[in-house]
Amino acid sequence: MTRQELIQQIKQKRSFLCVGLDTDPKKMPQCVFDLHDPIFEFNKAIIDATAPYCVAYKPNLAFYEAYGIKGMEAFVKTCEYIKENHPNHLIIADAKRGDIGNTSQMYARTFFEEYNIDALTVAPYMGEDSVTPFLQYEGKWVILLALTSNKGSHDFQLTEDAQGERLFEKVLKKSQEWGNTDNMMYVVGATQGKMFEDIRKLAPDHFLLVPGVGAQGGSLQEVCKYGMNKDCGLLVNSSRGIIYASNDDHFAEVAGNKARELQQEMDEELTKAGL
């Protein structure tokens, strides 16, 4: 999905919602365990219920790798199901890869060739040669970690050098020498609030993937106030607040309702921004 296609989907659906598929069998309703592939069947039901209200899905690889081959088979089936049945949705593999150049090349081949995913989260700590192999694929997105929503983000990301430049600012500046607004996004946690102003000073036009709304306490309105740009420029992710909103036989219906509620809030924010 190109940048323009993503913008078109946002305007058409009046939504910039990304549904996180952090699928944990320990939290899934009992009714799906009677089916052949519970993880996939749970995802399938969630996807069908939420597809009208979102523009992207983000399966988190840790939740599939934890179950070995069966888990990865469910991941692949989930991605194929989205492509075949809901093709106008961006698929983001939340894998946070990044290593020395030849290893990154293999990671890139895994996700962009073997799995044919649209976008991949990448850790920037090892620098240019660990990131650029992912940027060689036309039509694919690298989503670079910039300023995350977890408590430990303060340990490194906000540390300052002698000139007062914070590490996340250095990441934003340097990485724009490697990619551009058509193939690179940044992860910025919703709990960072007003810090979105600082992000936008350095990356005014890039899309931002924003986790942390809902269960982690981030405010959608605050994210939009400080982070939205002329193209919207946001993909706001919600995982637990949608997919685990109910634990009974009506889990998918309830998930759809939660997604619709967020979509309606997003419609209001887009309207306020004149989009």
Mean pLDDT of 213-237: 87
Q: Are 263 and 14 in contact (CB under 8 A)?
A: yes
| From 77, 96, 170, 225, the catalytic residue | 96
Over residues 107-130, mean pLDDT: 97
Which residue is it, tokens 């939290």?
27
The residue segments making up the domain with residue 55 are 3-272
**Which pLDDT does position 217 carry in this prediction?**
60
Residue 2: what are its φ and ψ, rounded to 5°?
-80, 170
Query: For the CA atoms of 183, 216, 263, 250, what is the dihedral angle to 10 degrees?
Result: 120
Please give the pLDDT value at position 190. 82
State the CATH number of the domain containing residue 118. Answer: 3.20.20.70
Residue 154 β-bridge partners: none
According to the model, what pLDDT value does residue 215 have? 58
| 174 catalytic per annotation | no
Domain count along the chain: 1
**In the 8-state DSSP scheme, what is residue 82?**
H
pLDDT over 60 (residue 176): yes
- At 191, the pLDDT band (50, 70, 90 cuts) reads confident
pTM of the model: 0.96
Flag the least confident range among 53-67, 203-217, 219-233, 234-248: 203-217
Residues 242, 23: contact at Cβ < 8 Å? Answer: no
| Nearest-angstrom CA–CA distance, 220 and 18 | 13
CA distances from 96 to 61, 253, 271 (A): 9, 31, 33
Is the distance from CB of 189 to CB of 152 less than 8 angstroms? Answer: no
Name the helix (H) or strand (E) containing 22. Answer: none
**Position 214 confidence tier, pLDDT thresholds 50, 70, 90:** low
CA–CA dist 85, 124 (Å, integer): 33
**Can you give the pLDDT at residue 269?**
97
